[in-house]
Chain A
């Protein structure tokens, strides 16, 4: 079932907010967001792409029809411009990794365990890996975990690193794999699958 959101005559950021609301109300399905100016088209498209939904923009008369597919209806691997689906694995598992050392106790042991953890999940390739707090360091250069993470990314695992955390530890420039994310996107990612926290 399609849901239509008419944003004609509305100034930014209202079209984005209305589209977000409509998408929040459904688990999966299609939302058509209609906007009447370039700025709203850009902003809505940007928002939707970053949220990981499929998007298609058509111009009709003076308006833009932005068709957004959320969840199951997404056609995976359909190569078309301005469609971004980063997660293309079969898994629905989302790992939330909040530390750079697995478990409490000796940090050295923790690092070793974390490294073998990534090697172990490479086979199944989870849908999403979320790195938060000191966990973000694992996706930064000079960490031994990078290679496994790159392989996972190639297999279709989406890798999100918390931007606030990277800034806090002043290592934003060092991020070597995955994309910088925000709490809003991270919450969406966690709600999209089965979350397993790695403390």
Chain B
């Protein structure tokens, strides 16, 4: 995905920490999980762990050791434990009809990663993807607690639509999403036109099937972006309309890229309608 081991470590850690933030919690403890081949320079592993440890520190948590296994290919992840008061736990199951949906971080990292593999992504686009993938969701998490929101989920491998669908199912509602409002990393649409679509995006599309309905105006490429599996993606937040302004203002204050991307409706035939 990325060649630089330090960056790779950072992204893996940001990804692992994200779940805790999405649930309204504060990460406390992180344990490394490492697979590494003995033929590879051990310096690389050092860099990966360094990247991971720095992100954990940035999240104000502690890396307390971990577990390593010899393997053919290097792999790195973290098991993260966090704290949250039982009354404050956020899940994806409390989105309410009338809520507004806010998405943090722009979409498209899966498509960019595919293009990076094919050496077809330009440096600016690749750098943007790396910037967002290694960004913690801590500030968005903190903002949600300050403002008070109804539901949240983090966007990862099942793509924006996949995780949105999970929220709709769990909350027993339908969602209306506005594709022209979704933030997308610059250059992603062009890469989609060139066929840089990861297999995961096709799987997500297939899995969701008729549950998602697109308006004719939504381009094929934009659909791909919405199905695109994200690495260390942002948060999808369901918030009551009166709290949208304070939420957006605070996110802006923290310099978190965010946009209002849709609304929650009472449950009807389709899980998700995209305009």
The answer to whether A43 and B196 have CB atoms under 8 Å apart is yes
The answer to whether A12 and B189 have CB atoms under 8 Å apart is no
A5 to chain B, nearest CB (A): 14
Partner of A13, one of B120, B180, B187, B202: B120
- Interface: B194 (CB within 8 A): yes
- Interface: A17 (CB within 8 A): yes
The answer to whether A12 and B120 have CB atoms under 8 Å apart is no
Partner of A180, one of B180, B189, B191: B189
A36-57, CB under 8 A of B: which get 1 and which 0?
0111001111110010000000
The answer to whether B198 and A12 have CB atoms under 8 Å apart is yes
The answer to whether B195 and A47 have CB atoms under 8 Å apart is yes
Known A-B contacts A42-B202, A173-B180, A184-B120; A16 and B196 likewise in contact (beta carbons under 8 Å): yes
B104-139, CB under 8 A of A: which get 1 and which 0?
000000000011011110000000000000000000
> Which residue from chain B places its CB closest to the CB of A13 in the assembled complex?
B118
The answer to whether A16 and B118 have CB atoms under 8 Å apart is yes
Interface residues of A in 1-27 (CB under 8 A from B): 11-14, 16-17
Known A-B contacts A46-B197, A47-B195; A12 and B114 likewise in contact (beta carbons under 8 Å): yes
30 A–B contact pairs at CB < 8 A?
A12-B198, A12-B199, A13-B114, A13-B118, A13-B195, A13-B196, A14-B117, A14-B118, A16-B194, A16-B196, A17-B119, A37-B199, A39-B199, A39-B202, A42-B197, A43-B196, A44-B195, A45-B195, A46-B194, A46-B197, A47-B194, A164-B186, A167-B186, A180-B189, A180-B190, A182-B187, A182-B191, A182-B194, A184-B190, A184-B194
- Interface: B193 (CB within 8 A): yes
The answer to whether B195 and A16 have CB atoms under 8 Å apart is yes
B195 partner residues in chain A, CB cutoff 8 A: 13, 16, 42-47, 50
Partner of B193, one of A12, A14, A182: A182
The answer to whether B198 and A163 have CB atoms under 8 Å apart is no
Contact residues of A: prevailing secondary structure:
helix
> Which residue from chain B places its CB closest to the CB of A162 in the assembled complex?
B190
> Which residue from chain B places its CB closest to the CB of A51 in the assembled complex?
B194
The answer to whether B189 and A13 have CB atoms under 8 Å apart is no
Cα separation A16 to B196 with both chains bound (whole Å): 8
Interface size on A, residues (CB 8 A): 26
B198 partner residues in chain A, CB cutoff 8 A: 12
Interface residues of B in 152-204 (CB under 8 A from A): 180, 186-187, 189-191, 193-199, 202
Interface residues of A in 143-189 (CB under 8 A from B): 163-164, 167, 173, 180-185
The answer to whether A38 and B202 have CB atoms under 8 Å apart is yes
A17 partner residues in chain B, CB cutoff 8 A: 118-120
The answer to whether B194 and A164 have CB atoms under 8 Å apart is no
Cα separation A185 to B195 with both chains bound (whole Å): 13
Cα separation A42 to B118 with both chains bound (whole Å): 16
Cα separation A78 to B38 with both chains bound (whole Å): 58
B2 to chain A, nearest CB (A): 16
Known A-B contacts A13-B120, A17-B118; A43 and B197 likewise in contact (beta carbons under 8 Å): yes
B42 to chain A, nearest CB (A): 28
Query: Which of A11, A43, A173 lies at the interface centre, i.e. has the most chain B CB atoms within 10 A of its CB?
Result: A43
A8 to chain B, nearest CB (A): 15
Q: 10 smallest A-B Cβ distances: which pairs?
A: A182-B190, A47-B195, A43-B195, A13-B118, A46-B195, A39-B199, A50-B193, A17-B118, A16-B195, A39-B202
B186 partner residues in chain A, CB cutoff 8 A: 164, 167
Cα separation A13 to B195 with both chains bound (whole Å): 8
The answer to whether A163 and B189 have CB atoms under 8 Å apart is yes
Given contacts A13-B120, A45-B195, A182-B194, 9 further A-B contacts (CB under 8 A): A13-B114, A13-B195, A14-B117, A16-B195, A17-B119, A37-B199, A167-B186, A182-B191, A183-B190
